[in-house]
Chains A and B, each alone.
Chain A
């Protein structure tokens, strides 16, 4: 219960800050950063939020099902741009995997030397 309150509070404060910075970042993303800071600084004990956080992270896939169902209305938009979307998705996914893998490996080797 307390953990849920902490998560909701971070989100709420995040929403306020989001308005201040003119929506540059959405409230829940700021909330994520706030929760991270609260936990690292020891203001909030990790044990307090562990249960609700684990539940939310573990059930996340269910939460975005309604957006997938949204295909019912937007499949035409996808079909109109299908080639571009498929090419962009494949190229960038492979690009990110290779680029991130290389950069991480290279820097990790250097910092271990």
Chain B
């Protein structure tokens, strides 16, 4: 009987959300990046699946609801853009210029370095959208044959890296404009960078959210071309 319950969709979904809430609590208490709820939950679920001897494919099917919600949250990013439309109008030129710079530099460096190392095409596709928010990165990499687990891990690590080093790096390179700082954090390290930008200030946070949505869209438009003509 216990096995039937443990393998049920309801149990797996409930326990995933439960572990996530618990991880969120631990993260807020400790503020340690290594204890980020996503990381902690993923590791805990992996351990659980190993112990309970449940296949990943079964787990993935059971929590298909989360997958569906992830798809919806991409659409919801349209609302995020709308919320910041006034800022976009006030700083149209810098916003557009910086979005293009972010997409070109981001894709260019990843694809360039990956090609120098000579890694497989599928892996390049998996890591190319790494500066973009996870749902968009998956929407880009999955249909082109990328390995979505690799995409989500690399995107996640990028977010953590940017949020830890971003502010210092901007300071060293002489970027003092708060709008520019927020935009850079969001463009390079999406939602996790945005969480950090909100800590810096309201302007930084708003610009970071806007950057996350715009570079996500820009990368989605640019990457298929790069995939077709460059690698």
> A residues bordering B, Cβ < 8 Å?
7-8, 10-11, 14, 23-26, 28-29, 31-36, 39-40, 46, 49-50, 52-54, 56-57, 59-74, 77-78, 81, 83-85, 87-111
A25 contacts B221, C-beta separation under 8 Å: yes
Chain B count of residues within 8 A CB distance of the other chain:
102
Given A92-B106, A96-B102, also A60-B134 (CB < 8 A): yes
**B35 at the binding interface (Cβ < 8 Å):** no
* Closest A residue by C-beta to B113: A88
Q: Which residues in B have their C-beta under 8 angstroms from that of A102?
A: 173, 175, 180
Distance between Cα atoms of A34 and B77 in the complex (Å): 11
CA A25 – CA B223 in complex, angstroms? 10
How many A-B Cβ pairs are below 8 Å?
A: 303
Taking the closest CB of chain B, its distance from the CB of A14, in whole angstroms, is: 7
B131 at the interface (CB under 8 A from A): yes
Report B's interface with A, CB cutoff 8 A: 16-17, 20, 37-39, 41-42, 45-46, 49-50, 56, 59-60, 63, 66-67, 69-83, 85, 91, 93-95, 97-98, 101-102, 105-106, 109-110, 113-114, 117, 119-120, 123, 127, 130-131, 133-136, 138-140, 142-143, 147-154, 156-158, 161-162, 165-166, 169-170, 173, 175-177, 179-181, 183-185, 187-189, 191, 211, 213, 216-217, 220-221, 224
Interface of A is mostly: helix
Question: Would A96 and B73 count as touching, CB distance under 8 A?
Answer: no
* A97 close to B148 (CB less than 8 A): no
Q: Which residue of A lies closest to B120 (CB)?
A: A81
Within the complex, which residue of A14, A40, A60 is in contact with B70, where a contact is CB–CB below 8 Å? A60
Taking a contact as CB atoms under 8 Å apart, the answer to whether A101 and B71 are in contact is no
CB within 8 A of B147: which of A74, A83, A98? A74
Instruction: Find out whether the CB atom of B113 lies under 8 angstroms from the CB atom of A84.
Output: yes
